[in-house]
Structure 1
Amino acid sequence: MSFLKDKLSIFTKTELPFIKRYQESDRVYTFLFEKDKDLSWNEGQHGLFTITHKKMKDSIRPFSVASSPSEGVVRITTRIDEEPSEFKKALLELEEGMKIKMIGPVGSFYLKDETPRLFMAGGIGITPFRAILKQLEADGNRGGKPSELLYVDSQEAHLYKDELDELARNTSIDVHYLSTRNDMYSYTNEFIASHNNNAQYFVSGPKSMVASMTNYLKDKHISKRNIIKDTFRGIE
């Protein structure tokens, strides 16, 4: 039934009024939009966002929704380089009250049961996990199943760090800030030793990181059904 719901959601379009933007770190920005009362999503999913105030060739981009439904806003966080795409230039041009369209929510990157979980984020791939942790906090997840977040960032910028630290205090999630892939392998080995295939493994980040960690998990005999990837690449 959830599969059918995911498929049908691609036909859902919602207009979102722009609230504000702010800079998270060097070249990384967060954009906040008003949440329509009828719009909901599973924390970790993404939307297909369309710029409407400016004509362009490629006007649709996928972004993970970095907020949980309980927050009452739609949040996207993205990296914007010195020479941004036409789409991201248009994002920066948004003024309060201007609208964009969201198609969806889309994707199966969300929690489905109460097994232990290992969340693996690389760089901007932290965005869906922020939503997941915010919802766990809203649900009062203090003594839930063992869960860990491994967040690797070679630049050690670690987006949302203050928020993540607060979420760790308010939930049963252990957060580890890492700087190398080898660090992630080490913590992953410890988690596998404790939980093996009696857990779910969520991986989100750059394509190469997702592929690498997926292959690593498979080499450690983690079942394919227990590996959940950001396969729709809801990361910009």
Structure 2
Amino acid sequence: MREEETEGTTTFHFERPAGFQFKAGQAIYLTLPASIGADNRGRMRTFSLSSSPHDRDLTITTRVSDSAFKKALQALPLGTEIELSGPYGNMVLDERRPAVFIAGGIGITPFRSMIRDAIERGLRQRMVVFYSVRKAEDAAFVGELEALAEHNPRFELVPTITGPGEVPPGWQRGKVTNEMISRHAGDLADQTFYVAGPPKMVEGLKQMLLASGVATADFHIEEFTGY
């Protein structure tokens, strides 16, 4: 099944293989059928899972693009068998410390999985999500995350826009900064950071956190590139 989350962002649902287990925040490899053919990067790509480990299906959520792989994935008939391998990745929740998630655009996907899993398991740690998009209409899952924050006092959502559009009520304008993080999450030294998004954004936030004294062991990063 496919469903459109925002204009240009699609969630793909896959039947979960029997016995397949994963930790929230991990990724899988998807390999297109041999009949599809391959581009110069082959038929396999990595995708973070946007579903919770408690869900019946496995889901990935991705920006639609003009790449050969994305076009082929979008065009697959419903019911097509596709090869899945994994899970992979070490960006999983440290349950011992408060968590700060910083997502740029489609980088929200592993965090959606992690937050839903933490809430479904009744974890008590504090979680703050800074969700940065160019315009509010680009923010996949924002309604769901707002509802989770409304009903879970230990979870806060801080959506921001970096473009020139109108700022919706409850949103902020501008890039995520140390001051913004401190205002909502407290002392940077007391948190574990999870950063996912475009490579330039991820690298900038990494350098900002390092310059602020955050230890390398206290943040996890994942770069999202288009393919």
- Residue 189 of structure 1 aligns to a residue in which SS? helix
Q: In the alignment, is residue 128 of structure 1 matched against residue 110 of structure 2?
A: yes
Alpha carbons of 1:135 and 1:170: their partners in 2 closer, same or farther (altered >3 Å)? Answer: farther
2:215 corresponds to which of 220, 223, 228: 223
Q: In the alignment, is residue 213 of structure 1 matched against residue 205 of structure 2?
A: yes
Residue 105 (structure 1) shift: 0.9
User: Does the CA-based 8 Å contact 1:45-1:109 persist in structure 2?
Assistant: yes
- The normalised TM-score by structure 2 is 0.86
Residue 28 (structure 1) shift: 1.1
User: Does the CA-based 8 Å contact 1:155-1:179 persist in structure 2?
Assistant: yes
Name stretches of at least 5 consecutive residues in structure 2 with no aligned partner.
163-172
Alpha carbons of 1:191 and 1:228: their partners in 2 closer, same or farther (altered >3 Å)? Answer: farther
CA distance in 2, matches of 1:190, 1:221: 17
- Map 1:1-236 → 2, pairs under 5 A: 20-52=1-33, 53-57=35-39, 58-81=42-65, 84-141=66-123, 144-156=124-136, 157-171=138-152, 172-180=154-162, 182-185=174-177, 186-190=179-183, 194-230=186-222, 233=224
- Residue 113 of structure 1 aligns to a residue in which SS? coil
Identity of aligned residues (%): 27
CA distance in 1, matches of 2:225, 2:108: 11
AA aligned opposite 2:104: G
- Residue 70 of structure 1 aligns to a residue in which SS? coil
AA aligned opposite 1:200: T
- The normalised TM-score by structure 1 is 0.83
CA distance in 2, matches of 1:234, 1:114: 30
Q: CA RMSD in A?
A: 1.9
User: Does the CA-based 8 Å contact 1:63-1:235 persist in structure 2?
Assistant: no
CA distance in 2, matches of 1:162, 1:182: 20
User: Does the CA-based 8 Å contact 1:64-1:235 persist in structure 2?
Assistant: no
AA aligned opposite 1:166: A
2:168 corresponds to which residue? none
Name stretches of at least 5 consecutive residues in structure 1 with no aligned partner.
1-19
AA aligned opposite 1:74: L
The alignment of Structure 1 onto Structure 2 pairs a total of residues equal to 211
Query: What do residues 138-184 of structure 1 show as CA deviations (whole Å, max 9, x unaligned)?
Result: 1124xx22220000001222111111112213432100110138441
